[in-house]
Chains A and B, each alone.
Chain A
Amino acid sequence: MSTPPVIEVRGLTRRFGHFTAVDAVDFDVQPGEIFGYLGANGAGKSTTIRMLCGLLAPSSGTARVAGHDIATDPQAVKRSIGYMSQKFSLYLDLTPAENLSFFAGAYGMRGAERRKRVEAALEEAELVDRRTTLTRDLPGGVRQRLALVSARLHRPAVLFLDEPTAGVAPDARRAFWRDIRALARAGTTLFVTTHHLDEAEYCARVGLMVDGRLVALDTPPGLKRTHVPGTFLAVETASGLPALRSALSDVAGILGVQPFGRRLRVRFALGAPLADPAALVAHLGGRGLANPSVEASDATLEDVFLELVRRSEPKEGAA
């Protein structure tokens, strides 16, 4: 790529005593990219974010964010980034205007400039007429929006969002992601952790953390191609799941079967003879199943995630 990366991470490691929370992680994030950082709780997502935000010194390795070294110049890093932490982003006992005014001040803005920025942010969050409502009385989605404009008051080049949609209603989550994509189009780089795998589909690239290691990093389609290759078919029959399972048990080339509502999602190896809706319907009909129906389906990031977790923890892969 021609433009230099806005986040450069090399061998980044953080140990707490004998526990290695983040283990020699390498990646780059390009300007204007939405970079998704996925992993189970305790996989090292938050620790990585805290290091990149200058909140935690790395045990070894280096990282540069917006051109500043996180270990030697955390202060410069903090000035050029916005951070929405997982646990807290706003003071609930203050009004939206008070919250914004405080964070503007915390980034050194004052006087007319601060008032102007706060006003613009209130407008952007559509809270001009609710400026004196206490933040605790705002709906979760509105609060989330306010937190996002608050993290962007000082026009940071990079935004770090740690589980930004945890506990937010689905429609509000969609609206939130619309805002995030608009930001990326306008040139802001976004580093987002989430454990909603459907949200990760919105990301340009996704890194997967398992036990402190970055086990995969690619675009969502690339991850699916690499880690769960094959053809996915969604199969349903009026005869019920147990009958369907037994009818599938001796079909060649099946790599995995997953219940999905009243259907089974079946993953076939590429080129398996029955990996085709019409062929599979004919086979199941021949086995005496009532009204078999088969639809083409897509691999999801969840498939990728389960596969990778299974591979790195072979003994606990039963789940």
Chain B
Amino acid sequence: MSALVRIGALARKELAHLRRDPQMLAFALLLPVILLLLFGYAISFDLDRIPLAVVDGDQTAESRALSQRLTAGSLFVEVGRPATPDAAEPLLRRGVARAALVIDEGYSRHLTRGEPAPVQLVLDGSDNSTAAVALGYATALARPKLPIAPPIEARARSLFNPGLKSAIFILPGLMTFILAMVAVMLTALTVAREYERGSMEQLFATPTRRLEIILGKLGPYFVLGLVQVLLVLTVGVVLFGLPVRGSLLLVFGVAGLFLLAMLAQGLLISVVTRSQMLASQLAVLSTLLPTLLLSGFIFPIANMPLPLRVLSQVFPASHMVSALRAILLRGNGPEAVARDCLAIAAFFVFVMLVTTRRFRRTVGG
């Protein structure tokens, strides 16, 4: 009973700190939205309006038809018609064009004779991914319409994300990243601050037990984290058309578990560093790397070398991303995310054990 009173007193104090520090609250509530807008609009693996220079050495109806096929959609935009390939180079160098289509004289002659009619696509290789995408588009578009339809036509249909929109694909990863970042950072800061101003010792001198201190201090941040989940989901659904095909309750369940793991991580960092400066740096480092690089948010886990694949399974972020994709995009139920939840819970328990041991040892008593 008095344990609850003590935990409540700590939680109220923490809320008072947050009220007095609007920047912290803004960090907690605005940053997720800003990050979401920034990343949601900026990280797009969809490319369009690639600037294209056309060097038409053939000047025939066929050559014009080819360049029109490329620029007809929204994928390529013609930005110039230099006379020679040499004249196209400055355009590429200055970045005015990202690609140049070079049609040599004799293109139509080759076509009418039924011979292969080579065409050159010069790409700005300094932007590797744009170049790859542009090459793919151009290859598909340049192929002339075949006079006879082939007997079998392969047609790919993407389930769950029919438009293959990258915003929808990255949102679960983005949510994970934002939640991890803010939760670890806030926890690390709030506990390190108690060490820095010497109040941790004052807390220990009261009958408040260590576990009560942890619960009372982190409770408000857990609730704040759930508010962030709601905020990020709402922005995702409203602005990016994120589908919620599975149970919302399950989303919050998994997110809550993930938050616990992140709060534990922040707590461990602050207990070890005991300085706000160090804690915030470690918080960024320890969330950025696993959530951005190892979670499957950007780079598919299946393509990683074995050691990284193993490492990615240790961090809760990859499980959170995969569970969110399963629930939100594929509409899966609890049975599909049970293994991910178990892995997150294991991380939480392990980190908590290390933290409490460290907590006890370093303050004595």
> A309 to chain B: closest CB distance in Å?
28
> A121 to chain B: closest CB distance in Å?
15
Proximity bits, B345-359, A CB within 8 Å = 1, else 0: 000000000000000
B198 at interface, CB cutoff 8 A: yes
CB-nearest residue of chain A relative to B203? Answer: A106
Question: In A3-62, which residues have CB < 8 Å from any B CB?
Answer: 50, 53-57
> Given A105-B5, A105-B6: A74 and B199 within 8 A (CB)?
no
Could you say which residues of chain B place their CB within 8 Å of the CB of A88?
197-199, 201-202
A269 at interface, CB cutoff 8 A: no
A108–B2 contact, CB under 8 A? Answer: yes
Could you say which residues of chain A place their CB within 8 Å of the CB of B5?
105, 108-110
> B23 to chain A: closest CB distance in Å?
12
> Given A57-B365, A88-B201, A106-B10: A93 and B20 within 8 A (CB)?
yes
Question: In B292-343, which residues have CB < 8 Å from any A CB?
Answer: none
Could you say which residues of chain A place their CB within 8 Å of the CB of B209?
75
Bound Cα distance A61, B32 (Å) = 54
Question: In A171-223, which residues have CB < 8 Å from any B CB?
Answer: none
Proximity bits, B200-220, A CB within 8 Å = 1, else 0: 011111111100000000000
B208–A54 contact, CB under 8 A? Answer: no
Could you say which residues of chain A place their CB within 8 Å of the CB of B202?
83, 85, 88-89
A108–B13 contact, CB under 8 A? Answer: no
B17 at interface, CB cutoff 8 A: yes
B231 at interface, CB cutoff 8 A: no
Bound Cα distance A257, B35 (Å) = 72
Question: In B1-42, which residues have CB < 8 Å from any A CB?
Answer: 2, 5-6, 8-10, 12-13, 16-17, 20-21
Could you say which residues of chain A place their CB within 8 Å of the CB of B8?
105, 110
Task: Count A-side interface residues using an 8 Å CB cutoff.
Answer: 32
Could you say which residues of chain A place their CB within 8 Å of the CB of B363?
55
Question: In A100-118, which residues have CB < 8 Å from any B CB?
Answer: 101-110
> Given A93-B17, A105-B9: A85 and B207 within 8 A (CB)?
no
A83–B205 contact, CB under 8 A? Answer: yes
> A130 to chain B: closest CB distance in Å?
16
A94–B9 contact, CB under 8 A? Answer: no
B197–A107 contact, CB under 8 A? Answer: no
Proximity bits, B169-205, A CB within 8 Å = 1, else 0: 0000000000000000000000000000111011111
B17–A55 contact, CB under 8 A? Answer: no
B364 at interface, CB cutoff 8 A: yes
- Size band of the B side of the interface? 20 to 34
> A268 to chain B: closest CB distance in Å?
46
A55–B365 contact, CB under 8 A? Answer: yes
> A149 to chain B: closest CB distance in Å?
15
Bound Cα distance A74, B206 (Å) = 10
A87 at interface, CB cutoff 8 A: yes
Could you say which residues of chain B place their CB within 8 Å of the CB of A75?
207, 209
> A238 to chain B: closest CB distance in Å?
51
Bound Cα distance A134, B20 (Å) = 10
B20–A106 contact, CB under 8 A? Answer: no
A85–B13 contact, CB under 8 A? Answer: no
Could you say which residues of chain B place their CB within 8 Å of the CB of A57?
364-365
> Given A107-B207, A134-B20: A85 and B2 within 8 A (CB)?
no
Bound Cα distance A106, B363 (Å) = 18
> B88 to chain A: closest CB distance in Å?
63
> A80 to chain B: closest CB distance in Å?
10
Cβ contact of A56, chosen from B6, B10, B20, B365, cutoff 8 A: B365
> Given A57-B364, A102-B9, A105-B9: A94 and B16 within 8 A (CB)?
yes
Bound Cα distance A55, B203 (Å) = 10
B364–A108 contact, CB under 8 A? Answer: no
A94–B207 contact, CB under 8 A? Answer: no
Could you say which residues of chain A place their CB within 8 Å of the CB of B12?
101-102, 105
A85–B201 contact, CB under 8 A? Answer: yes
A55–B207 contact, CB under 8 A? Answer: no
Could you say which residues of chain B place their CB within 8 Å of the CB of A107?
206-207
> A311 to chain B: closest CB distance in Å?
32
What are 6 A-B contacts defined by CB distance under 8 Å?
A50-B201, A53-B205, A79-B207, A88-B198, A94-B17, A104-B9
B interface vs A, CB < 8 Å? 2, 5-6, 8-10, 12-13, 16-17, 20-21, 197-199, 201-209, 363-365
Q: Apart from A87-B201, A110-B5, list 11 A-B contacts with CB within 8 A.
A: A50-B364, A53-B205, A55-B205, A55-B365, A56-B365, A57-B364, A74-B365, A83-B202, A98-B16, A101-B9, A102-B13
Shortest 9 CB-CB distances between A and B: which pairs? Answer: A105-B9, A87-B198, A108-B2, A88-B198, A83-B205, A106-B206, A56-B364, A102-B13, A93-B20
